Structure 1
């Protein structure tokens, strides 16, 4: 009889984990508090599958830069200090990671996982026909408004085979929609991709249901985890109890609420915003994905919509849409790409990115023999999801992991 793996969380991380497990012959039960999957952080994120731009936010110089951002009215960062020990612990650990050597080491971990994730998604698309989520390999152009930031980016390049430095005129030739934007230059990566994360979640769910090997328990909240002798035995769903063979926590920023004795998850939600802008026949949206580096705004064409995403709000567990933050994104998007879409009809959204202080997710085993983690992917959840899910399946199946997992482990208990 096949082992049954229970997964808590129905976002892109939980769903890719379930898909990889079912592919490998496991039976899965997926539990999601919402009535449908992919409704939170996976719903309207930036859409960029950004495999080679994975450097963590924590880096040398960021604390000083962040002070300047906080003092500005149009800052990409908003900090609201709270009487919350978890917030202060997270920020202290973040400051401790703001060193160039630490950033480079963590970026190497993320790049290793991201390239494996790109390979995994390609396998699933080609072998399983996973295509109905507006996927394209459209390339990504990181653009710079300031000569100083452009110079730092050029000096920091380590992969000249895949990343190409472009002058301002070359950026405009590559993407005519940017012709009137005052960028001084850019870095172009041709093999980056784009897709609709929510549509991807829906397709995975449909495939899992059709497999007959995945049970969905939607609209059910985990209220407790039973354990004894370093082993998880069951989860509590209100008055109901579900016995588990193996348990995966993939519940995003809510994962710390499921912590067991001695297992502290250093996650904190970083709220981000997006606009989904309809593109009509008269509009000229960029085909290449764009990152406006100095304003920290990303643009991705997803079918006949332009996804505009930005902001890092460290404001606790408040997921409400802040009208002032959305107005800032819309104003800056209109200044940059005034003809890209119908901004009047844009749909606003806010989501909580589950972030570790280092930017590196917690992936793999814990000190509990049958408890596994797949959490803390921050703004890279869609990018890292397929590789993370496949690695979890390899580990649970007691197979050799396809990549070195140094840097991802969390065994505190």
Structure 2
């Protein structure tokens, strides 16, 4: 089957790769000049298979006053004149229940596990170069209460087979000596040895290379914007693009936030809102002071990952609209935290700053599968877990097309 995938981020390319593996003739279209230039470009770099809790969680209700008023809160809300923002927020708050969170965690956990299986069962991808590391992930806690809650949750997960290890303070420092600067506030941590780190942008490039080098190479059309869909009843006849009409047997919309704009043209109301995050990437200057394990600081709500000779630190979840402007107040706090927690590890003063917009649904569950149009499929709405869920989501879509 001839299939066009709209979107060349990690979701679109993982989907295209799995479709090519299934024997389809694939074309990828994106308005950027190459693959991975959007939200995939400089994300937190964690393949967080063991931690898939959604933003929509019952604890949000207790935190709501702080989230709305504290300028240092990791989650920020700035009201605008967009009615969709308020609609999305109401749907998000409605999803902040224990039942919904449990359902979402189960679904995301299955997708994450499938992603890991696909990666490790693909020798060609494992041999590719995208700064992959089996680093494990250590979540550290600075309060007895939060550590006790995390310990309880981890013990439940252990009973169901998830490999998580509860570490007291000294064990955390033994596992990752680079945490020495925060030893004074470190209570304990939870270590997930099966979690990994990698560079999502480089993985996008490597997936593209693998598809170009396949016996039946995929086509890539960059610098090209999809401007409309020409329909014939319940089917799409072809795409209108800035490079002219593009025709296929089936179309996959996997363009992140752009999917909402394109969906409106064919009466699809996709509940995708941009959750803004920031990262900074700095060259390592002292290998001994730079963490090897992927670390999440539960108190500061930041993640740090080692990508070769670069440290990537990321954080924030801002509900402030679709601007990509760098909020220096937010990035300034990231830099201050980096200097305090990992002093001398990297050249933080000359770090590269970046902002990205995560396409999030209110529940945190992605939308994968068919639409009411016979030959249009969706793979959208992965929020902050797009990198972790990409390969599994692509496979789920390929399975759906095959009738599995």
2:178 aligned residue? 177
Residues 271, 312 of structure 1: 8 Å contact kept? yes
Q: Deviations over 1:23-78 (max 9, x none)?
A: 12111110000011101100000000000100101011203313213322321112
The 5 A counterparts of 1:9-408 are 9-124=7-122, 126-157=123-154, 158-160=156-158, 162-181=163-182, 182-211=185-214, 212-238=216-242, 240-259=244-263, 260-281=265-286, 284-398=289-403, 400=404
Superposed displacement of residue 337, structure 1: 1.4
What secondary structure does 2:132 align onto? coil
Superposed displacement of residue 131, structure 1: 2.7
C-alpha distance in 2, partners of 1:193/1:304?
A: 16
Residues 144, 292 of structure 1: 8 Å contact kept? yes
Structure 1 residue ranges without an equivalent (≥5): 401-413
C-alpha distance in 1, partners of 2:126/2:136?
A: 22
What secondary structure does 2:329 align onto? helix
Superposed displacement of residue 282, structure 1: 5.9
Superposed displacement of residue 127, structure 1: 4.9
C-alpha distance in 2, partners of 1:52/1:14?
A: 23
Q: Deviations over 1:88-129 (max 9, x none)?
A: 1110100000011110111111001100111011122x2555
Superposed displacement of residue 271, structure 1: 0.7
What secondary structure does 1:271 align onto? strand
Q: Deviations over 1:182-204 (max 9, x none)?
A: 11111011111110111111111
C-alpha distance in 2, partners of 1:41/1:176?
A: 31
Superposed displacement of residue 342, structure 1: 1.2
What secondary structure does 1:359 align onto? coil
More displaced stretch, 148-157 vs 192-201: 148-157
Cα pair distance change 1:7/1:342, threshold 3 Å:
same
Cα pair distance change 1:376/1:130, threshold 3 Å:
farther
Q: Deviations over 1:146-199 (max 9, x none)?
A: 111111111222222501111111111111011231111110111111101111
Residues 66, 77 of structure 1: 8 Å contact kept? no
Residues 283, 341 of structure 1: 8 Å contact kept? no
Cα pair distance change 1:278/1:66, threshold 3 Å:
farther
More displaced stretch, 89-98 vs 64-73: 64-73
What secondary structure does 1:34 align onto? coil
Superposed displacement of residue 12, structure 1: 0.5
What secondary structure does 2:330 align onto? helix
Total equivalences in the alignment: 396
Cα pair distance change 1:314/1:228, threshold 3 Å:
same
C-alpha distance in 2, partners of 1:128/1:303?
A: 18
Residues 181, 340 of structure 2: 8 Å contact kept? no
C-alpha distance in 2, partners of 1:117/1:169?
A: 33
What secondary structure does 1:333 align onto? helix
C-alpha distance in 2, partners of 1:325/1:281?
A: 25
Residues 57, 95 of structure 2: 8 Å contact kept? yes
C-alpha distance in 2, partners of 1:306/1:128?
A: 23
1:404 aligned residue? none
What secondary structure does 1:179 align onto? helix
What TM-score comes out, normalization by structure 1 length?
0.93
